[in-house]
């Protein structure tokens, strides 16, 4: 029996590492991509960890393209059937989610779009030829429910909402093109739910304990979505339980 190969891009993030740990526990060979080195406690024969340096700065485009080419070369050899892209950015020490339009800044928008849209887009571009040829290929890109224009009833969080809405459009558009070449493939954007990571840490105060998931619990739920993913789901924004969310 062929063992499914897993590729996790952004494996150094909270959810990304949770996905790595989950699939290793299931006995699946995992190819992990991260800007950081492999943690010592994860090192094992079933894990191939590739450390790359990626950036969307103009002076780093060549280096980023070379890094993505390394990822694609490894993917072509390993032939993963399930790929997770787990990159995301919401805040840092200088920037928090905007509560009002008056707080909007070009710098924050650039950072949000760079990490939440441009890097996933470049990985999809690099992997596209591989995906057109891989039967039952599945790509799940972490997005956010707040990127749904239909669901937006609260406002605020301008840069993050806009970037995730753009990411969802990237997934929808690429799914249409991919379908022309590979009717069995599926590429979706995926809302992971609120997870106890550095990204959500400043905003957990008002979150009921029952809604805050550990990275292990989130990984289990997202793996279940991946297992049930079919070609007819391609282009959708899915919730952590597999429900189709509105754009």
Residue 100 lies in a domain: yes
* pLDDT on residue 104: 94
| Residue 1 included in any domain | no
| Spatial separation of the C-alpha atoms in residues 156 and 190, rounded to whole Å | 21
The reported pLDDT for the residue numbered 56 is: 64
Residues of the chain falling short of pLDDT 70: 1-3, 55-60, 63, 198-210
Classify residue 143: in a domain, yes or no: yes
Domain contains 53? yes
pLDDT of residue 95: 84
What is the Cα–Cα distance from 226 to 82, expressed in whole angstroms? 7
Domain extent for 44:
6-245
**What is the reported pLDDT for 1?**
45
Domains in the chain, number = 1
- Complete DSSP assignment for 170-187: HHHHHHHHHHHH-TT-EE
What does pTM read for this prediction? 0.92
Spatial distance between the Cα atoms of 123 and 84, rounded to a whole number of angstroms: 11
Give the three-class secondary structure for 34: strand
Euclidean distance between CA atoms 49 and 67, whole angstroms: 13
Place of tokens 């892209």: 85
Number of neighbouring beta carbons within 10 Å of residue 5 = 19
CATH number of the domain where residue 61 is located? 3.40.50.720
Return the pLDDT at 2: 56
CA-based radius of gyration for the chain: 17
Helix/strand number for the chain, H first, E second:
6, 8
Residue 167 lies in a domain: yes
Question: Nearest Cα to 87, choosing from 170, 22, 210?
Answer: 170
196/199 Cα distance (integer angstroms): 8
């Amino acid at each position: 029996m062929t063992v499914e190969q897993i590729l996790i891009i952004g494996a150094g993030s909270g959810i990304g590492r949770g996905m790595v740990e989950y699939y290793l526990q299931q006995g699946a060979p995992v190819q992990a991509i991260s800007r950081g080195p492999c943690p010592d406690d994860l090192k094992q024969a079933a894990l191939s960890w590739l450390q790359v340096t990626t950036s969307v700065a103009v002076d780093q485009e060549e280096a980023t393209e070379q890094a993505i080419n390394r990822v694609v070369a490894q993917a072509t050899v390993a032939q993963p059937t399930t790929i997770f892209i787990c990159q995301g950015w919401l805040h840092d020490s200088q920037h928090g989610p905007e509560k009002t339009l008056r707080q909007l800044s070009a710098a924050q928008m650039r950072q949000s779009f760079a990490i939440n849209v441009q890097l996933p887009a470049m990985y999809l571009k690099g992997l596209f030829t591989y995906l057109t040829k891989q039967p039952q290929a599945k790509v799940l890109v972490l997005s956010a429910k707040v990127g749904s224009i239909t669901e937006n009833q609260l406002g605020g969080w301008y840069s993050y909402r806009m970037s995730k809405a753009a990411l969802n459009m990237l997934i929808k558009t690429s799914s249409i093109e991919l379908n022309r070449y590979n009717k069995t493939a599926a590429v979706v954007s995926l809302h992971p739910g609120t997870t106890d990571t550095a990204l959500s840490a400043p905003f957990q105060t008002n979150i009921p304990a029952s809604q805050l998931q550990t990275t292990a619990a989130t990984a289990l739920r997202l793996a279940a979505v991946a297992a049930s993913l079919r070609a007819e789901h391609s282009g959708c924004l899915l919730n952590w339980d597999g429900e189709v969310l509105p754009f």
